[in-house]
Amino acid sequence: MDDGFLMEVCVDSVESAVNAERGGAGRIELCAGLVEGGTTPSMGLLQVVKQCVRVPVFVMIRPRGGDFLYSDREVEVMKADIRLAKLHGADGLVFGALTEDGRIDTELCTALLAVCRPLPVTFHRAFDMVHDPQVALETLISLGFERVLTSGCDSSALEGLSLIKRLAEQVSGFFPPGGGITERNLQRILEGSTASEFHCSARSARDSGMKFRNPNVTMGTSFSAPEYSIKVADVAKVRTLNAIAKNIL
């Protein structure tokens, strides 16, 4: 925390983690698969990131993309990943789980929280898929989550700003906004939400160093990111967002 606010940057590489810290991030959310909204990173990535940065690193625990309704075997994977993340130096953990009718899965969250402790835990944007945000809020408070990352149950934090503000009035500081935050809208989001934290990726595309390129092959689906364009946290963007927040708060 610096000057009354904290900027968390979600990253999926060592380069992005280093850039986020250099730009002024106060915390890192470490993920893989940002195209899918973030999945569990490798423990090798966590180990090297912890060697390269000094700010706290919170690790995403999400075994796959898609919905937040997990099978028994997926739950076992999540528990194993939590134990490994703690072993390899995670400073906090990030997860979310819902029932089929869009409510917080209290039984599963309770079990996962027990494995996470004593580390702090964030409930991620699974919150944006709940049936009733205010009921979900009370549930998460009673379970003991430290914070909830949300775009206000809308496509971005700007569109969901009114709900974020209403929820934040119930629990001050519990709802760092995240989702589509840029230097163009951060001021409106922070002023409208009265948040003391915010979450962003602050990425730019960097061209690959590959000289030989095969244009006929892609490594993922037709909708996947191009192989020869790499997105990384941009030091200048992180610094700009940092400066905007300092001027506001």
Domains in the chain, CATH or no CATH each = 6-208+216-248 (3.20.20.380)
Average pLDDT over residues 194-223: 84
Residue 228 has pLDDT above 90, yes or no: no
CB of 108 closer than 8 Å to CB of 97: yes
22-26, 60-64, 96-100, 206-210: range with lowest mean pLDDT: 206-210
| pLDDT tens digit sequence for 104-133 | 999 999 999 999 999 999 999 999 999 999
Q: Tell whether the model's pLDDT for residue 4 goes beyond 70.
A: no
> Cα–Cα distance between 178 and 158 in angstroms, integer?
9
* Percent of the residues in the chain that have a pLDDT greater than 90, as a whole number: 77
Q: What is the DSSP letter of 168?
A: H
Q: Tell me, what's the pLDDT at 225?
A: 66
What's the mean pLDDT in 133-142? 95
DSSP letter string over 119-151? S-EEE-GGGGG-S-HHHHHHHHHHHT-SEE-BS
Is residue 198 within 8 Å of 173, Cβ to Cβ? no
How much is the pTM? Answer: 0.92
User: Under 8 Å CB-to-CB from 125, ≥6 apart: which residues?
Assistant: 37, 96, 149, 150, 151, 178, 179
Interatomic CA distance for residues 87 and 89, integer angstroms: 6
| Distance of alpha carbon 56 from the chain centroid | 13
